[in-house]
Structure 1
Amino acid sequence: MSMAQRIQDAWNEQASWLIVLRPLAWLYRFGFCLNQSLYEVGVKKVYHAPIPVMVIGNITVGGSGKTPLLIELVKYLQQQGVRVGVISRGYGGQGPFPAKVEQLSEPSIVGDEPCLIVQSTDVPMAVGPNRQASIELLLQTVGDLDLIISDDGLQHWALGRQIEWIVLDQNRGLGNEKLLPEGYLREPKSRLKSSTVIEHTKVAQPKNNMYLDVGQPYLLNNHLELSWFDANQYFNAVVGIGFPQRFYQTLSKLGVSQYQAHEFPDHYDYEIADLIFDSQDAIITTEKDAVKFKSLLQQHPEFNTPIWVVPVEAVLSSDCYDLLKQQLQQVGIQFS
């Protein structure tokens, strides 16, 4: 197990030994605050796009449900006639950057989450560490857009923004409420007071809330022609997300209780050997991981182990949509 994975596990367990990392957390806080202040006083330049920018991010390391939320918002805005584009860092992608994300883009080039977002919404999207370059690429190649949504980038102070939504996973919480690397906070919890907080809960609740609804699993290697999903069979559960426990909770909702867990780091670059296990049981996985598996299956048509994919969809409270409409109106964006 890598040191990064050990620390990730320690964060999730709130291990007491993390206190030895407190001096590094102090150093992180100093560097973070210094960098932020340099942007605030104008020593470092902030890029302001010619159209409004909305950032959807979190203050924690690891998954919070941000990507399903973004996908739902994009679909909703498209239905309302808002011309929206999306940018992202493109974690896991090798570039070159900036890069447009297309339906057939490879996760190894642009990242797994961008591929999932575009395959789910067909939204114009560009990725790269330089958010300004990504926005300019979109504006040059797509034409008129009303809004840019930045997938993550909450701490990317070089990008000016008009709207910020922070996804807070109540299931995971803030851990020990310590900054990196003693805890998994990217920013102090006081940051939640200055932005819109969307609480990710297990079930529907009022106000600014979302939860994940589990869809019917589908077969990734559909040439096997299996017509139905049996939740009572044994599985190899393959998961490479920031908070794998959420996937296990999803499996429980499906009635899947018999599986061997195989955890990989977030944004892991899979090889076909990673999907070969001692048992011949079917594989069950997330949509984010399936984006990478699809490419592997094309490269290895001889691979015949069934891979079932569990889709999830963010369900937002009505207050979220009301708030979004109000915030967009404040920056001059009207629904059609």
Structure 2
Amino acid sequence: MRGWLSALLPRLWLSRALAWPLWPLSLLYAAVTGLRRGLYRSGLRRSTRLPVPVLVVGNVVAGGSGKTPVAMALVQRLQAQGWRVGVLSRGYGRSTRDCREVLPDSMAQEVGDEPALIRRHCGVPVFVASRRAEAGQALLARHPETDLLLCDDGLQHLALARDLEVCVFDDRGVGNGWLLPAGPLREPWPRAADLVLHSGEQPAFAGFRACRTLAAHAQRADGARLALADLVETPVLALAGIARPERFFAMLRAAGLRRLQELPLADHQDFEGWQPPADAPAVWLCTEKDAVKLWARHPGAWAVPLRVELDAGAWQALDAGLAALRSPRVP
């Protein structure tokens, strides 16, 4: 039932004509979320302010929009500028519920696939917890040298105070413009944000571009590399357990791969007990997000890194916001 709904709702969210029966439920959702925001604005509920600046990268649209690759690109930029970055996440889909550090050998099932990917890709401290403030406090206690925290997802997590907000959209924009469940919006749009990024090819409104391209190579669990150019005529199983698998497949085709067997999987696919198709070719290509789980059982799979580059104007806007955060403050 859940899988059926997850496939149907995104189609409904493209049009109001099909989604209108759910509109009364959107009014209820608006009332509940509006009351929650009002409690924080009035001070009846308080956000936790951490002793270092907090940058939140997230979205207002349900489903993936490319925020985690953007978050990793931002971490690398911040590191290059001398910031000592830590990353916070709730660890979506993990089997545990405690606050814990993501280590290089942490199982993705225990910490979440995206936090595991960020830790492996960026090499920065990463903590997961349902309460992001708890994750931040634990991270700062373990890594006191950290001077900036990036929260991967969490625009709607008002319990954590933030200094900068980056909102990421893909080609869906805001869909039909309605709130959940009649539309894709988690909160009304437009809303204030320090930086609006579009990870798709056709931005629906003003903002900066976050261009996504595949690396020219794939990498195996043992560190071996394979040029995509060497796979042009090779039968390949292309699998992707991300929000929009077709984008990964399209980028592989754009890289010249001609003999793809495309296998779209559920977002955050759990590969426990998963079996490949009986007619699967010997060479498998997957996303880095899938690899952190798939490699535990199929280390021969090849992960294709994703590169994200922001418009020059986006970097300038971000740098201007970060410059104001350089001075130390009292917790």
Distance in structure 1 (CA, Å) of the matches to 2:50 and 2:155: 16
What does residue 235 of structure 2 align with? 234
Q: Does residue 312 of the first structure (1) align with residue 306 of the second (2)? A: yes
* CA 225–151 in structure 1, closer or farther in 2 if over 3 Å, else same: closer
**RMSD over equivalenced CA pairs, Å:** 2.6
Distance in structure 1 (CA, Å) of the matches to 2:90 and 2:265: 21
1:211-222 maps to which residues of 2 (within 5 A)? 211-220=211-220
Q: Is the 8 A contact 2:89 2:128 kept in 1?
A: yes
What does residue 280 of structure 1 align with? 280
* CA 53–224 in structure 1, closer or farther in 2 if over 3 Å, else same: closer
Distance in structure 2 (CA, Å) of the matches to 1:145 and 1:256: 42
Note the C-alpha offset of 1:221. Answer: 5.6
Residues 287-324 of structure 1: CA deviation (Å, up to 9, x unaligned)? 111111112236xxxxxxx5232211111122222222
> SS of the residue aligned with 2:61?
coil
Note the C-alpha offset of 1:104. Answer: 1.0
Q: Match for 1:104: what amino acid?
A: D
Question: TM-score when scaled to structure 2?
Answer: 0.88
Distance in structure 2 (CA, Å) of the matches to 1:196 and 1:28: 26
Note the C-alpha offset of 1:95. Answer: 2.3
Q: Does residue 166 of the first structure (1) align with residue 142 of the second (2)? A: no
Q: Is the 8 A contact 2:166 2:193 kept in 1?
A: no
Q: Is the 8 A contact 1:86 1:150 kept in 2?
A: yes
For structure 2, the residue ranges without an aligned partner over 5 or more in a row are none
* CA 121–248 in structure 1, closer or farther in 2 if over 3 Å, else same: same
Q: Match for 1:106: what amino acid?
A: M
Distance in structure 2 (CA, Å) of the matches to 1:159 and 1:225: 40
Distance in structure 2 (CA, Å) of the matches to 1:119 and 1:11: 36
How many matched pairs?
Answer: 323
Residues 232-282 of structure 1: CA deviation (Å, up to 9, x unaligned)? 3333332111122322222222123443333222222112433x2121313
What does residue 246 of structure 1 align with? 247
Q: Match for 1:198: what amino acid?
A: L
* CA 8–247 in structure 1, closer or farther in 2 if over 3 Å, else same: farther
Distance in structure 2 (CA, Å) of the matches to 1:265 and 1:24: 26
What does residue 5 of structure 1 align with? 6
Distance in structure 2 (CA, Å) of the matches to 1:224 and 1:145: 32
Q: Match for 2:187: what amino acid?
A: E
What does residue 182 of structure 2 align with? 182
Residues 44-72 of structure 1: CA deviation (Å, up to 9, x unaligned)? 12111111111111111122121111111
Residues 118-142 of structure 1: CA deviation (Å, up to 9, x unaligned)? 1111111101111111011011100
Q: Does residue 332 of the first structure (1) align with residue 326 of the second (2)? A: yes
What does residue 197 of structure 2 align with? 198
Question: TM-score when scaled to structure 1?
Answer: 0.87
What does residue 323 of structure 1 align with? 317
Percent of residue pairs identical: 33
Q: Match for 1:237: what amino acid?
A: A
Q: Match for 1:313: what amino acid?
A: R
Distance in structure 2 (CA, Å) of the matches to 1:222 and 1:209: 34
Structure 1 outlier segments of 4+, above 4 Å? 11-16, 221-228
Q: Match for 1:208: what amino acid?
A: F
Distance in structure 1 (CA, Å) of the matches to 2:82 and 2:226: 39
> SS of the residue aligned with 1:326?
helix
Distance in structure 2 (CA, Å) of the matches to 1:104 and 1:296: 15
> SS of the residue aligned with 1:145?
coil
Note the C-alpha offset of 1:203. Answer: 9.2
> SS of the residue aligned with 1:25?
helix
Q: Is the 8 A contact 2:97 2:130 kept in 1?
A: no
> SS of the residue aligned with 1:174?
coil
Q: Match for 1:126: what amino acid?
A: F
1:295-306 maps to which residues of 2 (within 5 A)? 295-297=296-298
Distance in structure 1 (CA, Å) of the matches to 2:303 and 2:56: 28
> SS of the residue aligned with 1:296?
coil
Q: Match for 1:307: what amino acid?
A: A
* CA 279–222 in structure 1, closer or farther in 2 if over 3 Å, else same: farther
What does residue 17 of structure 1 align with? 18
Distance in structure 2 (CA, Å) of the matches to 1:234 and 1:4: 33
* CA 12–18 in structure 1, closer or farther in 2 if over 3 Å, else same: closer
What does residue 142 of structure 2 align with? 141
Note the C-alpha offset of 1:96. Answer: 4.2
* CA 270–14 in structure 1, closer or farther in 2 if over 3 Å, else same: farther
